[in-house]
Amino acid sequence: MLVQFWLWGQDALTGILVAYGFQKNPSPTARGSSLYLKDGVGLHSSSAWLLQSDGVLLYYRPGESFYWLESADGLPELPARRKPFDFDPGLDIFRPFVSAYEGWIAGRYGLDHRRQQLANLPRLARRSLNSWERWVRPAVGEGKAFPVLRGPLERPL
């Protein structure tokens, strides 16, 4: 999720999140980024969440962990009432949203858009690049969205 968060941050800076249909709101905590909301999805520099029929799945970036919440009240702050949620199942639940989003990015901006961004990935996020590629690649163009990276990452995916 570190890579995806960095990409969302780049997309926020360039207006792509709004172009995708997110509504930009001031951060309710007065800390961190603006709050982006769309169809039960929330994005903030500290967290991302998905509304589900029986609660909310929250990814909390500072702790790199998932939590299950009863409601989205108070988000993006990490609420006291939370239940830890296993990481891999959390990724599985987020994957359809991320896949649809990354597919839209590839279709609208072309494959080079993400390739160029990934070539400039900060060192901290770079350690998670292989995991991100395995998570996103099969779902975006059935493995053809990022077939070759140019620049410092010159290797086939």
Per-residue pLDDT of the chain in tens (157 residues, 90 and over written 9) = 999 999 999 999 999 999 999 999 998 877 778 999 999 999 999 999 999 999 999 999 999 999 999 999 989 988 999 999 999 999 999 999 998 999 999 999 998 899 899 999 999 899 999 889 888 865 555 444 454 333 334 333 3
On whether residue 21 sits in a domain, the answer given is yes
Q: Which two tokens stand for residue 106?
A: 């590839």
On whether residue 148 sits in a domain, the answer given is no
Contact between 59 and 16 under an 8 Å Cβ cutoff? The reply is no
Question: How many angstroms separate the CA atoms of 118 and 131, rounded?
Answer: 13
Contact between 86 and 75 under an 8 Å Cβ cutoff? The reply is no
On whether residue 90 sits in a domain, the answer given is yes
Which range of residues forms the domain containing residue 104?
Answer: 2-143
On whether residue 155 sits in a domain, the answer given is no
> What's the sign of the alpha-carbon dihedral 101, 113, 143, 122?
negative
On whether residue 95 sits in a domain, the answer given is yes
Contact between 32 and 26 under an 8 Å Cβ cutoff? The reply is no
User: What total number of domains does the chain contain?
Assistant: 1
Question: How many angstroms separate the CA atoms of 137 and 33, rounded?
Answer: 27
On whether residue 153 sits in a domain, the answer given is no
121: CB partners within 8 A, 6+ apart: 3, 6, 129
Q: Residue 97, SS3?
A: helix
pTM beyond 0.75: the answer is yes
On whether residue 20 sits in a domain, the answer given is yes
